[in-house]
Amino acid sequence: METVKEYFGCNVFDDREMKANLPAKVYQSLKKTIDEGATLDVSVANIVAEAMKEWALKKGATHYTHWFQPLTGITAEKHDSFISPSPDGGVIMEFSGKELIKGEPDASSFPTGGIRATFEARGYTTWDPTSYAFIKGKTLCIPTAFCAYGGQALDKKTPLLRSMEALNTQALRILRLFGNDTAKRVTSSVGPEQEYFLITKEMYDKRLDLRMSGRTLFGAKAPKGQEMDDHYFGIIKPRVQAYMEELNRELWKLGILAKTEHNEVAPSQHELAPIYTTTNVGTDHNQLTMEIMQKIALKHGLVCLLHEKPFAGVNGSGKHNNWSISTDEGQNLLSPGATPYENAQFLLFLCAVIKAVDDYQDLLRLSVATAGNDHRLGANEAPPAVVSMFLGDELQGVLDAIENDTPYAGAEKTKIQLGVDVLPLFSRDTTDRNRTSPFAFTGNKFEFRMLGSSNSIACANIMLNAAVAESLKIYADRLEGVGDFETALHEMIKKTIKDHKRIMFNGNGYDDAWIAEAEKRGLSNYKTTADCMPHLLDEKNVKMLTSHKVFTIEEMQSRTEIMLENYCKSVTIEANTMIQMAKTQIIPAIEKYAMDVAAGANTKKQLNSSIACGYESSLVSKLSEYSDQAYVQTAELEKAVAELSEAKDIIEESAMIRDIVLPKMEALRSSCDAAEELTAKSYWPFPTYSDLLFGV
């Protein structure tokens, strides 16, 4: 039997395969493109394409595809076979450098937010050589960027790569100021922890809401949920363990560094965490991970739910984005050093992140905004919608000492004077973790905890990379050419701490008192997608993102339109599903049970007229009340959905969704859930929460 070490990455055309299959000069040229961003020579691409094709054919591949990430939130692929006709009537297997570098899917059939008219169909996919090609099934998948005929980005990969380049450019400027002339590249890295639910396929198929929207739109609470804290890190059930084992094997074959697996807090909830890697590769890997999680689940008679809030009353699922920045020499720029200059450099990069998170808290919030995640944020299971940072007591103490020019109350009570004294050494775990913080420092990285489980991590990392690049640019502009570098550095770090201390909070983010305090501090609190998404087009955000060439104004306008459309469409689908379920399943079930109870009471009275039948009368009365309420509320919801067509634009429609449709959905659910608690199980038309959460 093969060991993990033997089959790890076996379906990836990675550095090992490139080195083994490419001529030395071609390999070196390609490596320069990958590592340093050098332009790719077409002649090199032809040789790479041939080697890639031969490798793929040996693996049983028959097709290739440009694998890309349009603004749908999932991946896309169009398969072409390697075959070309030969003169003798047979076929030859061909794949050119041109086919490797560029593809042409139909751009009009993907979300464009008005960038492209429907009749303007041409779009291009372009090879991203920094992310390895891989085999999925019988197809060679080539990670690519996706753009319109006019060059506008229609995907999540293109702006992500742009943001990484912006961060690299500005970070290198800072490193040069500290005397580092050898680092050639600075790269952000991520490790996204992925939460998910597993339920049986049989039960999933019986729930229209799960099939249409990915979450339960109705459902009374089960008698037992997560109150006993007995599922978190508990013994993994054999069926789930078998699923995890096959999932790991398939992920490892694709070179995905799946590391940690465990039961999460809610019943039937689990988590998979990888070792972190370069951000664009980590983004590709996470998209693949979600796809494979769902695919493998079906083989085990299960369904993997990635919705942020598939069940009310128990924890939803997030995706913690562990983010850091490092040089190509292996130096983590968020790790304190052992020398005064290294510590001063660490503090400057730390302050750049602090400034970025405070200045662009709205961008971080909207980068994780979806209809699904709106149900999760602030629900005492995930961070609140207010963005804040947790640094821990010791690091906070260091920053306070710098701000006030006072001795640091550490081991030796040394006065912090940048470039002179050594920052007190501390390990990664000098302070407790804070699971309520949206943005927490965890030793040599930050954990951004607001992402929803179904989100692409690209959006959050685009905004994070760009915002930090802006901070570093401001610092570099101020420090380059100053006479007294150390004094200027000290004053700038001190000013950053003073100006942005409002964003730092080490307490309980679930406490209502913090929300009130955050408002006093002037922090934004955008509770829904409808609240935050329009702020993408705020002047400061447009100026920053366009100046670093992460987006054009046209691309930003299109994304605002697309994200709000997705929000409106998602909730409208949920509302229409609720209407159908209420009309055709729930109300008829309540009515049938009430009639049968009433008929039973009538039979009892015929047998014995002295029997009061108080229980039956009370039950029928309550059921009738709930069914009547549900009938009226269904009609009101139906009317509210119809009125959405009267909105003058997508911003008004999203406000109507938030203010009118969602409250009516909640009211309908409340009546139906109350009726479920009174209705005999045999009458209820689909599996209950007890069935779903404890059925695996």
Domain range summary for the chain, segments of one domain joined by +: 4-154, 163-551, 566-693
- Return the pLDDT at 408: 64
What fold, for 566-693? Four Helix Bundle (Hemerythrin (Met), subunit A) (1.20.120)
Q: CATH top-level class for 4-154?
A: alpha beta
How far is it, in rounded angstroms, from Cα 460 to Cα 454? 13
Chunked into runs of 10 residues, the chain (696 residues) has average pLDDT values of: 92 96 94 82 90 96 95 92 82 84 79 70 86 96 91 93 97 96 96 97 98 98 92 95 98 97 96 95 97 98 98 95 96 84 88 98 97 87 89 85 73 47 49 74 92 96 98 97 89 94 90 91 95 97 98 96 96 98 98 95 80 87 97 98 97 97 98 98 98 96
Q: What is the pLDDT of residue 507?
A: 86
Instruction: Give the separation between CA 310 and CA 305, rounded to whole angstroms.
Output: 7
Estimate to the nearest angstrom the gap between the alpha carbon of 14 and the chain centroid: 25
Cα 209-214-216 angle, rounded to 5 deg: 45
Structural contact between residues 574 and 210, judged by C-beta atoms closer than 8 angstroms? no
At a CB cut-off of 8 Å and minimum separation 6, what does 646 contact?
Answer: none
Long-range contacts of 115-122, Cβ-Cβ distance < 8 Å, separation of 24 or more: 115/148, 115/150, 115/152, 115/154, 115/554, 115/555, 115/558, 116/148, 116/149, 116/152, 116/154, 120/148, 120/149, 122/148, 122/149
**Is-contact 460 367, C-beta < 8 A?**
yes
DSSP string, 355-411: HHHHHTHHHHHHTT--HHHHTTTTSSSS--SB--EE--HHHHHHHHHHHHT-B--SS
How far is Cα 678 from Cα 662, in angstroms, rounded to an integer? Answer: 25
Residue-wise pLDDT for 74-120, tens only, equals 999 999 999 888 777 776 778 988 999 888 877 677 888 777 665 66
SS3 state at 462: helix
Angle ∠(212,216,217) on CA atoms, nearest 5: 85
- Give the pLDDT confidence of 183-223 residue by residue, as tens digits: 999 999 999 999 999 999 999 999 999 999 999 999 999 99
3-state secondary structure 67-114: EECECCCCCECCEEECEEECCCCCEEECCCHHHHHEECCEHHHCCCCC
Residues 6+ away with beta carbon under 8 Å from 513: none
Question: Which pLDDT belongs to residue 425?
Answer: 53
C-alpha triplet 492, 493, 497: angle, nearest 5°: 115
Helix (H) / strand (E) containing 210: helix 208-213
Residue 410 has a pLDDT of: 57
Residue with token string 């796809």: 291
Can you tell me the distance from the alpha carbon of 350 to that of 335, in angstroms, rounded to the nearest whole number? Answer: 9
The structure tokens 């379920």 sit at 581
* Contact by Cβ (8 Å): 336, 343: yes
Q: Give the single-character DSSP code of 226.
A: S
CATH 3.30.590.10 fits 163-551, yes or no: yes
